[in-house]
């Protein structure tokens, strides 16, 4: 059965449809907490109110003496545009801190990605550097409308581990569609040997399998790819909704123990929250400062065909006054611009600032490679100049 993406509780439904016709979302009532939620994505949310986002939303609304009104839309292409940015709802319950399209509250939990495998198969995997991974069938979730890979999937690719089994994100209850639990059930059924799964999803679905599964946390970040694995999670509102953000911050402070209790009920594995932004991934002491993966090398080439004209050679000293220094934009000490936001901006451009939409000339792979190059320059381990590839070095040995 196909789910209708726009379901509004109560009388807000008609208001939303009228507002959509007029080109803007309905206004929030003083006693409404309008929550943007996916109707079929446990353990996060569903239209039966069974996810931990649903429970946290109810807790927040109760504290504010408000009523929850859910606006349902699947978390895929157009989610932000058709929910919070379109004015149809006001709060995202679960987003990474610093997620640029919205203003984020104080974090209320932190988690990471996990290796998941059957406990009875004799595996002792402890990191992505285990050479056994090159001989196993590995499953990963594909996130985003263009099947963007998760950070661990990119990290595996950077290690030369390819041929990953992708699990889609077009979720609904149809037996032939994608389901949130598919990747964990594939491990339990021996369809794949290992899965790499975001902590909340892993913890929840592992607990519901009939066979014992092992969970191994990945570190906060990855030296090889330069990507984060762990994220502090918060609530999100529109940047202009400062009063609502302040109210949510207060609720998080007052009800933190209750929120954590909900997360524990869903078997969400949690890390200690960082009091400050995480530091950039340190470079190994003996690292060649110009030795890079093929992806970063290709990103350097794309950069010096297209990006340098505005942002400067070697990603430094921008030429146009409207072009930011992307080393600062991507650094934890600067703007900490998220990867997805970087790629979205490069793909669609910022016409109001004179930035073209590069989707006219580049595909998504090229834009991802540009990001990897810019991030390496931002993290500081890649120095200015023409880099050389690890693959070329191996060929010469």
Q: What is the pLDDT of residues 205-250, one digit of tens each?
A: 999 999 999 999 999 999 888 889 999 999 999 999 999 999 999 9
* Residue 148 DSSP class: E
pLDDT at residue 233 in the model: 96
| Percent of the chain whose predicted confidence (pLDDT) is above 70 | 85
Q: Of 27 and 194, which is predicted with more confidence?
A: 194
pLDDT digits (tens, 9 = 90+) for 297-325: 899 999 988 898 889 888 888 888 788 88
Query: How far is 396 from 144, CA to CA, in rounded Å?
Result: 39
- pLDDT value of residue 329: 84
What residue segments make up the domains of the chain, in order of their start?
Answer: 12-109+232-265, 113-217, 291-396
Tell me the mean pLDDT in the region 248-274: 96
Which pLDDT score, from 0 to 100, does residue 18 have? 35
Q: What is the average pLDDT across 16-20?
A: 38
Better-scored residue on pLDDT, 28 or 270: 270
What integer pLDDT is reported at residue 147 of this predicted model?
42
Which pLDDT value is given to residue 5? Answer: 37
Tens-digit pLDDT profile for residues 138-194: 999 876 443 457 889 888 988 888 888 988 777 777 877 789 999 999 999 999 999
**Spatial contact of 167 and 178, defined as CB atoms under 8 Å apart:** yes
Both structure tokens of 344: 């979205």
pLDDT score of 14 more than 50: no
Q: At 137, phi and psi to the nearest 5?
A: -90, 115
* Percent residues over pLDDT 90 in the chain: 53
pTM: 0.65
pLDDT digits (tens, 9 = 90+) for 88-136: 999 999 999 988 889 999 999 999 999 999 999 999 999 999 999 999 9
CATH superfamily of 12-109+232-265: Periplasmic binding protein-like II (3.40.190.10)
23 vs 40, residue with greater confidence: 40
Strand-pair partners of 214: 117
Q: Is the pLDDT of residue 378 over 60?
A: yes
Confidence (pLDDT) at 21: 38
Handedness of CA 329, 335, 340, 345 (dihedral sign): negative
**pLDDT value of position 275:** 58
The least confident of 37-41, 70-74, 353-357 is 353-357
Class of domain 291-396: mainly alpha
Q: Is residue 197 scored above 90 in pLDDT? A: yes
**pLDDT score recorded for residue 30:** 63
Domains 113-217 and 291-396 share a fold: no
Domain 113-217 falls under CATH 3.30.9.10: no
Contacts 24+ apart (CB under 8 A), 297-300: 297/387, 297/388, 297/389, 298/366, 298/369, 299/369, 299/370, 299/371, 299/372, 299/373, 299/374, 300/373, 300/386, 300/387
Confidence (pLDDT) at 75:
87
């Amino acid at each position: 059965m196909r789910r209708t993406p726009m379901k509004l509780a109560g009388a807000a439904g008609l208001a939303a449809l009228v507002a959509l016709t007029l080109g803007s979302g309905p206004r929030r009532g003083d006693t409404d907490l309008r929550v943007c939620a996916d109707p079929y994505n446990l353990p996060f949310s569903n239209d039966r109110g069974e996810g931990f986002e649903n429970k946290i939303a109810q807790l927040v609304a109760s504290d504010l003496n408000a009523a929850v009104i859910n606006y349902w839309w699947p978390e895929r292409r157009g989610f932000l545009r058709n929910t919070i940015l379109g004015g149809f709802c006001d709060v995202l319950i679960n987003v990474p801190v610093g997620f640029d399209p919205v203003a984020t509250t104080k974090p209320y939990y932190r988690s990471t990605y996990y290796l998941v495998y059957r406990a009875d198969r004799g595996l002792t995997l402890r990191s992505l550097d285990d050479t056994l991974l090159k001989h196993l069938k590995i499953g990963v979730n594909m996130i985003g409308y263009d099947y963007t890979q998760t950070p661990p999937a990119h990290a595996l690719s950077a290690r030369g581990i390819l041929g990953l089994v992708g699990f889609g994100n077009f979720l609904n209850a149809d037996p032939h569609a994608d389901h949130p639990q598919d990747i964990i059930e594939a491990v339990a059924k021996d369809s794949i040997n290992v899965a790499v799964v975001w902590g909340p999803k892993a913890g929840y679905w592992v607990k519901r399998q009939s066979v014992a599964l092992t969970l191994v946390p990945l570190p906060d970040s990855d030296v090889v790819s330069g990507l984060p694995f762990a994220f502090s999670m918060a609530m999100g509102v529109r940047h202009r909704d400062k009063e609502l953000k302040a109210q949510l911050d207060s609720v998080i402070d007052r009800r933190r123990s209750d929120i954590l209790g909900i997360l524990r009920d869903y078997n969400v594995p949690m890390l200690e929250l960082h009091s400050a932004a995480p530091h950039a991934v340190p470079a190994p002491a003996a690292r060649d400062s110009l030795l890079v993966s093929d992806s970063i090398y290709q990103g350097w080439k794309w950069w010096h065909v297209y990006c340098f004209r505005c942002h400067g050679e070697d990603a430094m000293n921008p030429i146009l006054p409207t072009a930011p220094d992307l080393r600062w934009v991507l650094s934890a000490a600067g703007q900490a611009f998220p990867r997805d936001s970087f790629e979205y901006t490069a793909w669609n451009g910022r016409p109001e600032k004179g930035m073209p939409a590069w989707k006219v000339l580049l595909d998504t792979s090229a834009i991802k490679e540009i990001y990897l190059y810019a991030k390496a320059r931002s993290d500081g381990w890649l120095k200015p100049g023409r880099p050389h590839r690890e693959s070329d070095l191996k060929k010469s040995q």
